[in-house]
Structure 1
């Protein structure tokens, strides 16, 4: 071979070997895993890619585990979908990244529970399958699981009800038969008010909630051959394989209705009531006022969204029964007429005092302010409520109240919107304090100093003067001053406000007003997904209580003339 040809081949071989030794390596991730994509928003602007291991068993559980505990999240968003300015501005793009991160954080705060729960379509398929196996194949295991699903009670409790003599499912719930219809009767202990002398003047009429159950279900439950817990487990194993729901269990079946109601309505109180959750485990149930026919209608609507056949069975087997008792819930809220009379008496006591008895006028005015502030803010009646004057921002119409701590009221507390009526009454009260301070300056110099400390937020806003000594208001003091009103429960204002707000505003804002938010979801908290602008709108609804309860403000100018 000529020398030129040999040298040329050697050069080519060197180049060829270099390319072979430095070829691109194939990443193992592309062999062992595959990518799946999901959108984090309804508009499908934010896309997340997830690596799923091939051959993982079960596949659904692998996906849920990765979603719950992601190692490295890969999220793609086009900045121009957020704002067109991002196409030509690097500064705008830098602003968009933290904005999108906050948006994703808010979306994920709205999740109602762990993603290990079946998705809505799986829940629908499960209920339909249970109904088909029961109605067409006379499968009693399917019937018991369906009853556990529809009521939230455990499978063991429904296994016990197979006996015709059995009626009680647990200490609080029992099966009753009235007006030719079966009902699941739930007793809510927290609503009881047995020793209250004037029970006829309370708003809600019962602490028992009856959820109708088709007679056919109970008759078949007791007529068909008995099944055991092992039979239920065997049937569940079959459902897990056929419906591809890997984590389906007897416990999960009984919790699916609560999960579904919460996901569809966002109303935790409704979910707790329908499934009979014990109030000791649910702060949302503590303050409750519900119309029973409306509650039944909501229950049927939820069943319609899950399975039309089950809902039609309920509608055909459960007649609309007239009942004299229509309102259910807490037995601590007075009727509207009683509230009107209470505030009329409180206001009358201010103007019925002698003109020169300014201390008596001051005391009664403070008591009136105590009650009006509690009703229109739905705050807890704690000592030294509502705190200091500096806690009010009358221009922005907000109050920072510390009503969760047992001790002092010096914490930052939580934010409560103030309605216009309340802002106006506070301004009039402050003018009265100025007038009161001037009038008593000569005769009571020590009390004059107290008023100045109130105005400079060194003492709480509300208090009473007894034996020439000023003391801040507390629930026991207010109760002792007006025993004739018969207000046995200090927090009747909160029960009244909750009853008024029900169905007038969305549930998250009501829970925020009552201080029943989830952790880190308090209004103005850095991680809260609660919109302050939306939350502040609840003040407009609170304002309506003035007209509804026929409450009028104090004509302070009459006192200060």
Structure 2
């Protein structure tokens, strides 16, 4: 029966019309929390207690004194409808509010509120300061309870079993009732809960910033801000992009860089998946999220609005900015931001003359040109008198080091795999956390640390005018600070090295995280850049490396591969024994995955390498679609190595044997092999241990997934499941393979650099350089094909 039939409740159900049909199964997780079956006393009339809970829920959403904005109610309309559809017939002789108080006392007396915290929150009623906080408590309770119900459903869809944020939010409501949140009540009283949801979130954030000296209230406000912001981000994204799949993860936008272009400020935002509650992502999975930036970057353009400009003009203006960004990232010779070596040497010559005259503005411009920094970044660059150690690193990522007769720029290059398990230290090479870039000696006579922090904006304009007067080259402040990046891109320097020299973080340049970079190689490029400015630079040998350590040492890797393959060949001789065939199949599939991983550098995903239709042995190409879950296609064609082609032939022969020989004894296995060969099912699969039934034993088919890869490779290489991507990229970088080919293989192309773009002139034939390099590597480490059945 609907709420209209309740004796002591108003006829209004909700403040917005309900259009969606409720799905009771979607609320199973909520039902288990507020209508539990595992109760402590079977003698209690739990139907009555359930009726009390439903009464309070319906009362919560039907109270006409609580005016909430439609922007919030639209986010929780499904939860409101579910509450309306709960079956409940009120009885006139039952005092539901008294029963609610008794029920709360029962929970408190038995000391089980922590287990039934959501029930206690739903039944809570304000008992103190009702005049001041009565309406405030009703608003806060309604917003919190509805938001919590929505987040519980979101968590259930994402397999999050526990969320402390929700428990804290309900605790704030429960403790509000007995005056244990008085300071919190004072702070939230300044918030108008009838405003739009985005305005409420902003108001809470502002109040949180005001509570600098009261950490407890700040934490409570931050919790309220967090649950509303999570709900808002999740539901608004669903409305704009359609209903999300149940296994799609929550995401957040992070600003990874900012620059100015054509009088517009460009914020580069990256859409990063994030887990909530006790769902901790593995470090390698975070790496892979950052590893495909070309389809995850969003450019937020901020400009001053022109007074008289229609929509068509705004559209053309936005299109112009997009084209400018694309040209800027490509560093084409036709770009107005590019300068020839001869032009930039003329500019440097003028700057050096002004520096010799004691011009501080010229010194700052020279530093910006040399280091690729803006004036703001240069102004906060820390200066030290000796090399920074690991224990001295705080929030900074680069430092100027002033020695006795030399100046260095020290950059921090720490990635997820800079540290590895102690037992793996013999297999994996060591890396340094820092790289020191020597600066030319011409700086020494003119430089003092305080000069970098002086405001020289007016003098800078004069210097730029002087450059134009003497050389005829019109150059802007932005072009000066961006020249380093332009030069690195124009000279086709590898993305990882470009990222390190230009001071990018791993979030801004994913290839850094995947690359083992010899410091001498990087310093040679740095020396080449400084020389292109017309300045001599001496560089000392470093004999170390930076970046990822997941590039096994050759001599140790050879021994490991030889021992592994010897063990595999022993098992091969036992493959026809009935009790060993499943173990042999899994060992063979593992070897296939190992060779394919090192041949393609594919990301570890479920149903890795797709189906039989995804590769062609004749053309020696395989289609990798390891990021197809996004809104744009991310598949790419990768040429196969000779070793991979041979192993795939063995795989087809292996599957054909299984389809023919197991059709009667193990029909499920035979069927899996048949659909793998026909392309109707996954190409690769594991066999789990037999489960004994009444008639026979059957094996369970297990798909390739990151979790299963971690399990089956644990006794061979206990490394992150994406270690092969680090090893392949590091080896290709070591062999000086062009960065554009490496990025095409890894799926790391940036905007304007897509290898398979419809306007790209690149040929697939060029990619066959990569399998030739990898086949030579496989010969060096003595990796071989293994035949199955």
Q: Same fold (TM over 0.5)?
A: yes
Question: Alignment partner of 2:628: what SS?
Answer: coil
User: 5 Å matches for 1:225-304?
Assistant: 227-230=454-457, 232-239=459-466, 241-242=468-469, 243-246=471-474, 248-249=476-477, 251-265=478-492, 267-304=494-531
Please list every run of 5 or more consecutive structure 2 residues that lacks an aligned counterpart in the other structure: 1-318, 321-326, 691-698
Deviations 1:420-460 (A, max 9, x none): 12101111121122223333233212211111011111111
Partner residue in 2 for 1:85: none
Cα distance in 1 between the residues matched to 2:567 and 2:359: 70
The Cα shift of 1:550 comes to: 1.7
Aligned residues of 1:375 and 1:497 also touching (Cα < 8 A): yes
Question: Alignment partner of 2:649: what SS?
Answer: helix
Aligned residues of 1:269 and 1:284 also touching (Cα < 8 A): yes
1:434 aligns with 2:695: no
Deviation larger for 150-159 or 485-494: 150-159
Partner residue in 2 for 1:413: 635
Question: Alignment partner of 1:487: what SS?
Answer: coil
Deviation larger for 462-471 or 436-445: 436-445
The Cα shift of 1:337 comes to: 3.4
Cα distance in 1 between the residues matched to 2:507 and 2:634: 28
Aligned residues of 2:372 and 2:502 also touching (Cα < 8 A): yes
Aligned residues of 1:176 and 1:185 also touching (Cα < 8 A): yes
Partner residue in 2 for 1:16: none
Deviations 1:166-204 (A, max 9, x none): 999972111235796432111123354435332443235
Cα distance in 1 between the residues matched to 2:681 and 2:382: 64
Q: For 2:785, which of 540, 548, 553 is the aligned residue?
A: 553
Partner residue in 2 for 1:209: 435
Cα distance in 2 between the residues matched to 1:454 and 1:125: 64
Q: For 1:498, which of 725, 729, 743 is the aligned residue?
A: 729
Partner residue in 2 for 1:451: 673
User: 5 Å matches for 1:126-525?
Assistant: 126-135=347-356, 137-160=357-380, 171-176=396-401, 181-194=406-419, 196-197=421-422, 198-214=424-440, 217=443, 220-222=446-448, 227-230=454-457, 232-239=459-466, 241-242=468-469, 243-246=471-474, 248-249=476-477, 251-265=478-492, 267-307=494-534, 310=535, 312=536, 314-315=537-538, 320=540, 322-323=541-542, 325-353=543-571, 354-355=574-575, 356=577, 357-406=580-629, 413-466=635-688, 467=690, 468-485=699-716, 487-502=718-733, 503-519=735-751, 522-525=754-757
Cα distance in 2 between the residues matched to 1:289 and 1:113: 31
Q: For 1:124, which of 330, 341, 345 is the aligned residue?
A: 345
The Cα shift of 1:367 comes to: 0.9
Higher RCO (Cα < 8 Å, 6 or more apart): 1
After superposition, the Cα gap between the structure-2 partners of 1:537 and 1:223, relative to the gap in structure 1 and judged at 3 Å, is closer
Aligned residues of 2:347 and 2:467 also touching (Cα < 8 A): no
The Cα shift of 1:299 comes to: 1.6
Deviation larger for 329-338 or 162-171: 162-171
The Cα shift of 1:398 comes to: 0.2
The Cα shift of 1:208 comes to: 1.8
Cα distance in 1 between the residues matched to 2:553 and 2:350: 46
Aligned residues of 1:152 and 1:275 also touching (Cα < 8 A): yes
Cα distance in 1 between the residues matched to 2:592 and 2:677: 16
After superposition, the Cα gap between the structure-2 partners of 1:521 and 1:163, relative to the gap in structure 1 and judged at 3 Å, is closer
Deviations 1:72-117 (A, max 9, x none): xxxxxxxxxxxxxxxxxxxxxxxxxxxxxxxxxxx99965488231
Cα distance in 2 between the residues matched to 1:281 and 1:122: 30
After superposition, the Cα gap between the structure-2 partners of 1:199 and 1:267, relative to the gap in structure 1 and judged at 3 Å, is same
Please list every run of 5 or more consecutive structure 1 residues that lacks an aligned counterpart in the other structure: 1-67, 70-106
Aligned residues of 1:383 and 1:473 also touching (Cα < 8 A): yes
Deviations 1:283-335 (A, max 9, x none): 3323222221222122212222231xx2x2x23xx5x2x54x42222123222
Aligned residues of 2:514 and 2:729 also touching (Cα < 8 A): yes
The Cα shift of 1:224 comes to: 8.6
Aligned residues: CA RMSD: 3.5
After superposition, the Cα gap between the structure-2 partners of 1:376 and 1:118, relative to the gap in structure 1 and judged at 3 Å, is closer
Aligned residues of 1:340 and 1:550 also touching (Cα < 8 A): yes
After superposition, the Cα gap between the structure-2 partners of 1:463 and 1:407, relative to the gap in structure 1 and judged at 3 Å, is farther
The Cα shift of 1:363 comes to: 0.7
Cα distance in 1 between the residues matched to 2:656 and 2:360: 76
Deviations 1:374-424 (A, max 9, x none): 11111112111111111110000000110123489x978210001112101
